[in-house]
Structure 1
Amino acid sequence: MDPVSRRLLKELNDYQREAKTHPEIIELCPADDEDLTQWRATIAGLNNTPFQGGLWNLEIKIPHNYPMQPPVIKFVTPICHPNVHFKTGEICLDLLKTAWSPAWTLKSTVLAISLLLSNPEPSSPLNCDAANLLRCGDIVGYESMIRMYTQLLAMNDDDSNPN
């Protein structure tokens, strides 16, 4: 077994053993039992945030030289967030680019993405509409918009969101 597969299996075992300690991660596993380079995750919106009640699916692609290079992660379920591109699901998060270190795991990376939901960085937006509301100090407008999109896109029983 190659070192990348060995590392990924260890991460999967560690996550499964500790899954109950992170209720915001609903699922984290290989998308296909035959291919450890394609994973999926589902995260839940944290309580007392405008994302509460929503579920978002993530697609995770593992590079051949993981963990020296970060995984490529994007939202499959559309989400309205200043640091996520609404159409492509691309995530603007330093740890997925320049701040990556082999000390990060898929679980810790997905947790960081979950925390990003309630801690947006409007100065480096991929969704300018959401970021502008925060930059203008319109918290009520921002949270109302997030709640609306969460209800429309992340709380439905459709193919993109298997609740």
Structure 2
Amino acid sequence: MFLVPDSNIFKWTALIKGPSETPYEGGIFQLVFTVPEHYPLQPPQVRFLTKIFHPNVHFKTGEICLDILKNAWSPAWTLQSVCRAIIALMGHPEPDSPLNCDSGNLLRSGDIRGYQSMARMYTRLAAMPKKQ
């Protein structure tokens, strides 16, 4: 995990590795954090810049559905711990609260192979380091 501020302290960029033994393994995913003025009393806004096929991530906007970024936020959370929670979510998707209905429907219908195949394909297309 690599987390750095932009020139504006309220904007941060993170690079996270896809967790091992998931369809995201081998991928490097870029996140952007927008930190509110009242942080840590309010959660940061976080979204994926790297395209990812995941039930809890909106495919077009990169918005993430994660309780700690909404109603379960605590000032004890840091930007680094938010990254760790997102990595955990990548390994344990919640198909019952999907932002990506296609991905959520595959998991809810039991088509694990279909979900993993699509997730691996998008990881290869969008998150794998390009070979020179």
> Partner of 1:84 in structure 2?
57
**C-alpha displacement at 1:156, in angstroms?**
4.6
Counterparts of 1:3-152 in structure 2 under 5 Å? 25=1, 27-32=2-7, 35-152=8-125
Letter in 2 for 1:38: K
Structure 2: how far apart are the matches of 1:79 and 1:55?
Answer: 11
Q: Which runs of 5+ in 1 are unaligned?
A: 1-24, 159-163
Seq. identity, %: 57
> Partner of 1:153 in structure 2?
126
Structure 2: how far apart are the matches of 1:148 and 1:37?
Answer: 33
Structure 2: how far apart are the matches of 1:53 and 1:39?
Answer: 23
Query: How many residue pairs were aligned?
Result: 131
Letter in 2 for 1:122: P
* Higher-Rg member (1/2): 1
RMSD of the alignment, in Å?
1.2
Taking structure 2 as the reference length, what is the TM-score of the superposition? 0.96
Structure holding more helix per residue: 1
Structure 2: how far apart are the matches of 1:92 and 1:49?
Answer: 19
Q: Could you give the per-residue CA deviations for residues 91-143 of structure 1, whole angstroms, max 9, x where no partner exists?
A: 00010000000010000011101110011000000000000010001111111
Q: Which runs of 5+ in 2 are unaligned?
A: none
**C-alpha displacement at 1:48, in angstroms?**
1.2
**C-alpha displacement at 1:47, in angstroms?**
1.2
Task: Answer 1 or 2: higher relative contact order, Cα 8 Å, separation at least 6.
Answer: 2
